[in-house]
Amino acid sequence: MPEHVTIKDIARILNISVSTVSRALRDAYDVNPETREKVLQLAKELDYKPNFNASGLAGGGTRNIGIILPFITNYYFSMVITGIQEIAYAKGYNIVLYVTNDSPERELDVVKNLNTQNLDGVLVAVCSDSAANGYFERIIAEGTPVVFFDRVLGGVDASKVVQDDYNGAFEAVEHLIQQGFTRIAHVAGPLDLDFTRQRLAGYLDALERYDIPVRKEWIVHSGFSQAHGEDDLARLFDQMERPDAVFAVNDRKAIGVMQALKARRVAIGRDFGVIGFTNDPMSTIITPTLSTVAEPAYEVGKMSCELLLQHIVRKSNFQPREIVLPGMLIPRESTLRTLS
């Protein structure tokens, strides 16, 4: 019953060879526009669907692209995937999803077992403490197109798409300063990730720019979760001298910070400024609403995918590119001094 129409059927009916049909169906190389038209016409009529297993086997593409990332259960990554998916769908590519749970072992296993014969290319956001560096390099050296996004890997010869973490952080801290906060702490993430370092750098440079001395004890870092944010604030409040504002590496941690502040009955906004990074919808739900730097997650996804597809079609003569997309400061109540 699964009577699938193949390239052979088309060839037989049109009384031409399969080679010609194959060529006509892809790019009109070595084929008469007329016969090409006939092939396309008949293919549509018969509802022909190419078999990508065969195509992949024979050396053509599989039309599958892989995504390797730590999580999908947060706003940022799910938006990135949505962006990727939009482009992939438009261009007729399928997405194969690999979630590493932010575990280096899992990531390593995924990359080792990445069947690059099944994949035309891979989009990747590495996990914290990634140990797969060498394996990614090998895949890239073998010629598989790879694009890193958000959590990029240093030193490898591949395209990269990130948001402007440095300037976003700078603007966030600048905003705190302009709101009159001067004792600004930074609740950071794992420092092995590039964007964490970028945001830290933006924080440091903003302080320097406004002649505010850096206090190392006000830079605390741990994981990315809300609980980590709560812990980090506790560590900040355990100190003799407390800060009066926090720039958090992301919204989830900022929300943890806010919850911890609420538990301590600190008036967020008026007495204590909090700003995050991401623009997670949660930041509009929490009271007071959380100021943040909006990340162009959807655009990061789209851009990454577009780059990857370019790499795939141009294959060897494609120069890796590094793209930085701008974020946007979104002031809300958590940094508003005038809040009653």
> In 3-state terms, what secondary structure has residue 95?
strand
Which residue is listed with tokens 């590094």?
Answer: 322
Q: Is the peptide bond before 288 cis (omega within 30 degrees of 0)?
A: yes
Contact call for residue 35 and a second copy (CB under 8 A): no
Stretch that binds DNA, among 7-15, 129-137, 243-251, 326-334 (CB under 7 A): 7-15
| Of residues 142 and 211, the one with the C-beta less far from a second copy | 142
- Choosing among a second copy, DNA, none, which partner's interface includes residue 135 (Cβ < 5 to 8 Å by kind)? none
Options 12, 19, 134, 237; binder of DNA; rule CB under 7 A: 19
The DSSP secondary structure of 134-197, one letter per residue, reads HHHHHHHHTT--EEEESS--TT-SSEEEEE-HHHHHHHHHHHHHHTT--SEEEEE--TTSHHHH
Long-range contacts of 110-113 (CB under 8 A, 24+ apart): 110/68, 111/68, 111/135, 111/136, 111/139
| Of residues 46 and 97, the one with the C-beta less far from a second copy | 97
> In 3-state terms, what secondary structure has residue 222?
coil
- Choosing among DNA, a second copy, none, which partner's interface includes residue 167 (Cβ < 5 to 8 Å by kind)? none
Minimum Å distance from CB 135 to a second copy?
A: 12
Strands 328-330 and 292-294: antiparallel
Contact call for residue 227 and a second copy (CB under 8 A): no
Burial pattern 92-108, b for ≥16 Cβ within 10 A else e, equals ebeebebbbebeeebbb
Q: Which of residues 31-70 bind DNA (CB under 7 A)?
A: 31-36, 48-51, 54-55, 57-60
Contact residues for DNA, defined by CB under 7 A: 4, 6-8, 15-20, 22, 25-26, 30-36, 48-51, 54-55, 57-60
Contact residues for a second copy, defined by CB under 8 A: 1-2, 4, 49, 51-54, 56-57, 62, 64, 72-73, 75, 78-79, 81-82, 85, 89, 94-99, 106, 113, 115-118, 141-143, 255, 281-282, 285-287
